[in-house]
Amino acid sequence: MKKQIEKEIENIREELLHISQYIGNHPELGHEEFKASKILSEELKKHGFQVELGTCGLATAFTAEFDSGRPGPSIGFMAEYDALPDLGHACGHNLIGTMAVGAAIGVSKVIASCGGKVYVYGTPAEETKGGKVTMAEQGVFDHLDAAMMVHPYCRHEKSGTSLAMDAIQFEFFGKASHAAGAPHEGINALDAVIQTFNGINALRQHILPDARIHGIIPEGGKAANVVPDYAVAQFYVRGTERAYVNELLDKVKNCAKAAALATGARLESSFYELSYDDLKTNETLSDAFTQNMIELGVDPDSIHEKADGGGSVDMGNVSQIAPSIHPYVQICDEPYACHTPEFREAAMSSRGFEGLMLGAKSMAFTAYDVLINEELLKKIKEEFNLLKALA
């Protein structure tokens, strides 16, 4: 049956190439991906999927379902398709979204033989205000027995972990005055921002080695001879576990509170992006995916273990709800980093497209394994439930 799945995906090779190139040539920022959302969902409709647009009130999100009409597991593929400012698809989301569609269509052609349901979730704005966070909070993924997505990279990597993350903003409100003529009448909001940075820099000595705090000053005043009455600092606070990020965030907030107290500025705190949870890979599902890559001709020695942590992905929020994987497929030989012009070009290359086809087939094969192998599904669920109990 896997040969049939592979044949079905090959049958739509030209369509998948067109979609990935179209999205790559029409980059859209998060929650503005109208072209990408439309072309992906329309392709699924052509193949018999029932499509709901605007899932969870997100204009560019969608849910596509193919029901075999028989009882069985529910498998979800995550489609990402937002681009980066100025860089376009330098994270390869033109491949990720198309991969999910290709995998789902391949499985849909054989699912009547085994039962179950297959879903594609269009999840906007992964790079910023991750759509999966909102969808997870509203229960969209609660029914899934397995959730998958594949990311392009400069080498094959197994699914690993990611860092939980909060995006915290501190606004300081002071009092303007002439910086030379009447400095004593002013309250310097920029000083409060700088003191916040100083406090956080001191805090870094006392945090876990794999935690990260990094920030910018998007607003620091308008003129050097005016005491700034308004200044803003934005930080990402990251750690390997959500519980530790919560603890660390309280300490970061205390740095800002201390700065406000020291300068006399008024402080307001808020989250300027949604919070991402850490990715918890289901190793049983991951092993099945890796075995299918090998079955498709990938040299086992070329599949690397994923380096733990490093970045943050909203797939982490899905992994808290359903057994999940987020592996990587190679699309170039050079060690290009994501979010670079070089990686954007790789994602638009013929090599990038072959990575897409490998990812789609590997996900489809893995989904089929879950659909037909009751023992595999049992092990996947046992591992997931154990991790939840230990959390």
| Domain interval for residue 178 | 163-269
- Do 288 and 249 have their domain in common? no
- Do 8 and 115 have their domain in common? yes
Provide the number of structural domains found in the chain.
Answer: 2
Q: How confident is the model at residue 308, as a pLDDT?
A: 62
* 53: β partners: 62
Q: Which of 269, 292, 327 is the last residue of a domain?
A: 269
- Do 111 and 237 have their domain in common? no
Residue with tokens 């002439």: 178
Q: Which of 213, 246, 269 is the last residue of a domain?
A: 269
- Do 242 and 376 have their domain in common? no
- Do 53 and 202 have their domain in common? no
- The one-digit pLDDT tens for each residue of the chain (391 residues) are 999 999 999 999 999 999 999 999 999 999 999 999 999 999 999 999 999 999 999 999 999 999 999 999 999 999 999 999 999 999 999 999 999 999 999 999 999 999 999 999 999 999 988 999 999 999 999 999 999 999 999 999 999 999 999 999 999 999 999 989 989 999 999 999 999 999 999 999 999 999 999 999 999 999 999 999 999 999 999 999 999 999 999 999 999 999 999 999 999 999 999 999 999 999 999 999 999 999 999 999 999 997 665 689 999 999 999 999 999 999 999 998 899 999 999 999 999 999 999 999 999 999 999 999 999 999 999 999 998 887 6
Can you say whether residue 170 is alpha, beta or left, with left for phi > 0 and alpha for psi between -120 and 50 degrees? beta
Q: How confident is the model at residue 306, as a pLDDT?
A: 78
Q: What residue spans of the chain are helical by DSSP H? A: 2-11, 13-25, 34-46, 93-108, 131-137, 189-203, 242-263, 283-295, 315-319, 341-347, 350-372, 374-390
- Do 281 and 150 have their domain in common? yes
Q: Identify the three-state secondary structure at position 109.
A: coil
- Do 147 and 183 have their domain in common? no
CATH number at residue 380: 3.40.630.10
Q: How confident is the model at residue 310, as a pLDDT?
A: 67
**DSSP E strands, 25-80:** 50-53, 62-67, 74-79
Q: Which of 269, 294, 317 is the last residue of a domain?
A: 269
Which token pair is 191?
């000083």
CATH number at residue 252: 3.30.70.360
Choose among 220, 215, 217: nearest CA to 189: 220
- Do 323 and 219 have their domain in common? no
Task: Give ∠ CA 37-42-47 in degrees, rounded to 5.
Answer: 135
> How far apart (Å, rounded) are the C-alpha atoms in residues 320 and 161?
12
Do 129 and 30 touch, CB atoms closer than 8 A?
A: yes
pTM: 0.92
